[in-house]
């Protein structure tokens, strides 16, 4: 930017505000005639005149500085500290189905373990013929697979059980990411140790200070679980479990043990802290559901949303969002503009993978009157995303986890968007 | 599938390695190490290493978790879920304290210290009342926690799916729609100063 300050052209700041003003005028008039020449065209910008940085300037590239607001954010009051805490993916700024690695939400219980992969080991023990130890090099010598899966925290939307709380889909729905994992099917690794006939459960354990453990039935472990070392083509990020994590497709994020160091095979579940005190769902009766593993079909409109208002005024308007199901694919999403009186089938776009995010669009002409937007996902099992009220009738308001209720956004005449609940 | 393939990767784990990492404990007592500790010993360790976050009586300080109390609150509007009121198994207390506590200095407690702390947590919850009580590998599984029977296995398929798998209404589904709750009224969302000013303008 030093070149721009020395140059004779307009500064970037004045240039940008000029462009915005021109754009705004055009929008209110529909297909507008330009009243005066657009300086974005008639004035030569710095980037069309001066050379930019060379190929050695950005060995690992970053987003444009104009995208610096597209970041993970946390909510301070949610947790006692930031070490056992969560932050949120900026869903309202993203499109398609793949979450960029640097924006994938984080959930740690004792912070980010920074692990030297040369010192990392994976142990398999318990009800196996031969307990084994693997290095990262060993793991890389198994046949690999590539799969796209969503990872949703069981507590995603958990703050919304009692009603509309947080103003933005980043906060209400952002404990989710969707990436392509490269890794080894877990069954290859378990078979290497040889399962005993009494084997029925596994207990994966992390190498971080929380030493996270969960009980997973062997059937799931042998079906589609993976031991993954790459996400979106590159090594896992430290905050996502570098050098290796468990992938448990369709199941609550807590089970996707990061920094995976050990898997014990047993004949019964362990009932550890993360499946008794936490990740159990309290009902109004005072009893609690346990082992609620699958994440049910869910969707949210990401644009417009409270952090992404409609800035262009009436006219052509794009509604877009994401839908996913832990039990299959998403063949269909319905969208309503009037709070659920009438529904329209949205247009699905992009790849449709099992237990992955799906992208939907609904295009319409906005007349400028207020809207009550909702989306409703259907999954390949025939399950239709319920309203929050339908869930609360069964589960009450204190189950914390597994809130897949339909989200409502209120859009006012100015295009400002708010998180609301409707009758 | 079917036939288990072997790739000849990895090497056998040694007994010392298994002993170093395999510390998990189950409700039936599998995994419990040799050892013991009393309520009195536990109180001393607790006051030194735990009370600054969890409070002198396990009541929890600030937003840090409470370990005791909350009896009879689970069906109320504000349930207080503690070891005494909610946790089903004592083995989870031993396992979790041993593997992950104190927060910031995990796996620094000896097996006997964890027995003592577990005994003290029972005492804080009035599950044992004798200050001289000693918890050991031998008597561990004799103790049951009050809420053990209050958990049921995921029943969504039976309880929810029949209703949620119906073909939904598409046209003229409701007479009217009213807004019943607004996040903006609560105003607890983080936002930058510029966004706040713009919103208030």
* Tokens at B162, concatenated: 């029949």
Nearest C-alpha in A relative to B9: A138
Name which of A324, A326, A327, A371 is nearest A350 in CA terms: A324
* Tokens at B147, concatenated: 């809420």
Nearest C-alpha in A relative to B93: A273
Rounded distance between C-alpha atoms, residue B201 and residue A88, angstroms: 27
Q: Does B142 touch chain A (CB under 8 A)?
A: no
In DSSP terms, A300 is beta-bridged to: A322
Task: Dump pLDDT digits (tens) for A18-50.
Answer: 444 444 444 444 567 889 999 999 999 999 999
Rounded distance between C-alpha atoms, residue A154 and residue A399, angstroms: 11
Q: What is the pLDDT of residue A26?
A: 42
Contact A165 B88 (CB under 8 A): no
Q: What is the pLDDT of residue B2?
A: 45
Contact A133 B151 (CB under 8 A): no
| Chain A residues inside the 8 Å CB shell of B25 | 270
∠ CA(A59), CA(A61), CA(A67), 5° rounding?
160
Q: What is the pLDDT of residue A17?
A: 46
Give kind and range of the element (H or E) at residue A26.
Answer: helix A12-28
Candidates B20, B79, B190, partner chain A, best to mutate (most A CBs within 10 A): B190
In DSSP terms, A182 is beta-bridged to: A146, A230
Q: ipTM of this complex > 0.85?
A: yes
* Tokens at A193, concatenated: 């140790």
Q: Using CB atoms, which residue from A79, A340, A398 is nearest to B177? A: A340
Question: Average pLDDT for residues B51-55, to the nearest whole number?
Answer: 97
Q: Could you give the residue ranges of the DSSP H alpha helices within chain B?
A: 15-21, 39-49, 51-54, 90-100, 111-124, 156-159, 161-164, 183-186, 193-200
A290 vs B187, which has greater pLDDT? A290
Residues within 8 A of A (CB atoms), B 36-75 only = 62-64, 74-75
Rounded distance between C-alpha atoms, residue A141 and residue B80, angstroms: 49
Q: What is the pLDDT of residue A24?
A: 43
Out of 3.90.870.10, 1.10.3720.10, 2.60.40.650, 3.60.130.10, which CATH number does the structure's domain A298-420 have? 2.60.40.650
Residues within 8 A of B (CB atoms), A 260-299 only = 261-262, 264, 266, 268, 270-273, 276-277, 280, 282, 284-294, 296
Name which of A219, A1, A256 is nearest A105 in CA terms: A256
- Per-domain residue ranges of chain A: 74-290, 298-420
Residues within 8 A of B (CB atoms), A 66-105 only = 73-77, 79-80, 83-84
CATH class of A74-290: alpha beta
Residues within 8 A of B (CB atoms), A 32-61 only = none
Rounded distance between C-alpha atoms, residue B24 and residue B34, angstroms: 14
CB pairs under 8 A between A and B: 243
Tens digit of each residue's pLDDT, chain A (423 residues) = 333 333 344 444 444 444 444 444 444 445 678 899 999 999 999 999 999 999 999 999 999 999 999 999 998 888 888 989 999 999 999 999 999 999 999 999 999 999 999 999 999 999 999 999 999 999 999 999 999 999 999 999 999 999 999 999 999 999 999 999 999 999 999 999 999 999 999 999 999 999 999 999 999 999 999 999 999 999 999 999 999 999 999 999 999 999 999 999 999 999 999 999 999 999 999 999 999 999 999 999 999 999 999 999 999 999 999 999 999 999 999 999 999 999 999 999 999 999 999 999 999 999 999 999 999 999 999 999 999 999 999 999 999 999 999 999 999 999 999 999 999
Rounded distance between C-alpha atoms, residue A165 and residue B182, angstroms: 7
Task: Dump pLDDT digits (tens) for B75-92.
Answer: 999 999 999 999 999 999
Q: What is the pLDDT of residue B3?
A: 54
Task: Dump pLDDT digits (tens) for B87-140.
Answer: 999 999 999 999 999 999 999 999 999 999 999 999 999 999 999 999 999 999
Using the CB atoms, write b or e for A279-294: b if 16+ within 10 Å: bbbbbbebbbbbbbbb
Rounded distance between C-alpha atoms, residue B138 and residue A211, angstroms: 26
Q: What share of chain A is helix, strand, coil (3-state, %, to 5)?
A: 20, 30, 50
CB B75 within 8 A of CB B150: no
* Residue A381: partners with Cβ closer than 8 Å, 6 or more residues away: A325, A327, A328, B165
Task: Dump pLDDT digits (tens) for B143-156.
Answer: 999 999 999 999 99
| Chain B residues inside the 8 Å CB shell of A423 | 176-178, 180
* Residue A423: partners with Cβ closer than 8 Å, 6 or more residues away: B176, B177, B178, B180
Q: Does A381 touch chain B (CB under 8 A)?
A: yes
Candidates B1, B11, B24, B199, partner chain A, best to mutate (most A CBs within 10 A): B24
Candidates A128, A166, A169, A286, partner chain B, best to mutate (most B CBs within 10 A): A286
């Amino acid at each position: 930017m030093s070149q721009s300050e020395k140059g004779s052209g307009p500064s970037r700041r004045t240039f940008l505000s000029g462009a915005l003003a021109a754009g705004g005028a055009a929008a209110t008039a529909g297909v507008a005639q330009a009243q005066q020449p657009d300086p974005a065209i008639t004035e030569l910008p710095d980037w069309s005149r001066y050379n930019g940085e060379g190929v050695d300037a950005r060995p690992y590239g970053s987003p444009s500085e104009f995208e610096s607001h597209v970041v993970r954010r946390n909510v301070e009051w949610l947790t006692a500290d930031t070490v056992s805490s969560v932050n949120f993916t900026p869903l309202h700024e993203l499109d398609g189905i793949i979450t960029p690695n640097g924006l994938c939400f984080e959930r740690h219980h004792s912070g980010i373990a920074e692990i030297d992969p040369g010192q990392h080991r994976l142990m398999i023990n318990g009800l196996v013929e031969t307990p084994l130890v693997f290095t990262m090099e060993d793991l890389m010598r198994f046949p690999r697979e590539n799969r796209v899966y969503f990872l949703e925290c069981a507590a995603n939307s958990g703050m919304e059980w009692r009603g509309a709380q947080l103003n933005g889909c980043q906060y209400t729905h952002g404990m989710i990411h969707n990436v392509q994992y490269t890794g080894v099917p877990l069954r290859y690794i378990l078979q290497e140790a040889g399962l005993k006939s009494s084997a029925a459960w596994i207990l994966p354990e992390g190498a971080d200070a929380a030493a996270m453990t969960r009980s997973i039935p062997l059937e799931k472990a042998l079906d589609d679980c993976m031991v993954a070392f790459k996400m979106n083509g590159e090594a896992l990020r430290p905050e996502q479990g570098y050098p290796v994590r468990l992938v448990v497709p369709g199941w609550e994020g807590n089970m996707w043990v990061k920094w995976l160091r050990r898997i014990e095979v047993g004949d019964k579940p362990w009932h550890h802290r993360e499946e008794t005190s936490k990740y159990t769902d309290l009902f109004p009766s005072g009893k609690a559901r346990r082992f609620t593993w699958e994440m049910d079909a869910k969707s949210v409109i990401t644009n417009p949303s409270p952090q992404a208002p409609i800035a262009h005024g009436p006219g052509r308007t794009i509604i877009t969002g994401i839908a996913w199901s832990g039990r299959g694919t998403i063949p269909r999403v319905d969208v309503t503009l009037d709070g659920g009186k009438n529904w329209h089938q949205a247009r699905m776009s992009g790849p449709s993978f099992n237990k992955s995010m799906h992208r939907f669009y609904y295009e319409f002409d906005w007349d400028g009157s207020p809207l009550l937007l909702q989306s409703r996902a259907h999954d390949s099992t025939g399950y239709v995303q319920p309203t929050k009220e339908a869930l609360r009738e069964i589960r009450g308001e204190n189950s914390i986890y597994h809130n897949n209720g339909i989200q409502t956004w209120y859009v006012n005449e100015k295009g400002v968007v708010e998180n609301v609940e409707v009758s | 599938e079917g036939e288990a393939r072997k790739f000849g990767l990895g090497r056998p784990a040694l007994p010392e390695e298994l002993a170093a990492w395999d510390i998990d404990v189950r409700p039936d007592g599998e995994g419990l190490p040799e050892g013991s500790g009393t309520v009195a010993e536990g109180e001393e360790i607790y006051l030194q290493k735990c009370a600054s976050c969890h409070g002198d009586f396990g009541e929890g300080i600030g937003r840090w978790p409470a370990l005791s109390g909350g009896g009879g609150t689970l069906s109320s509007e504000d349930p207080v879920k503690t070891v005494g009121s909610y946790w089903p198994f004592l083995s989870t207390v031993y396992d979790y304290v041993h593997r992950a506590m104190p927060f910031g200095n995990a796996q620094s407690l000896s097996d006997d210290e964890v027995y003592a702390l577990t005994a003290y947590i029972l005492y804080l919850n009035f599950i044992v009342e004798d200050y001289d009580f000693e918890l050991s590998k031998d008597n561990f599984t004799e103790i049951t926690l009050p809420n053990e029977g209050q958990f049921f296995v995921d029943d969504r398929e039976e309880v929810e799916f029949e209703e949620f798998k119906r073909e939904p209404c598409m046209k003229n589904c409701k007479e009217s729609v009213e807004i019943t709750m607004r996040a903006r009224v609560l105003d607890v969302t983080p936002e930058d100063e510029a966004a706040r000013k713009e919103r208030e303008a």
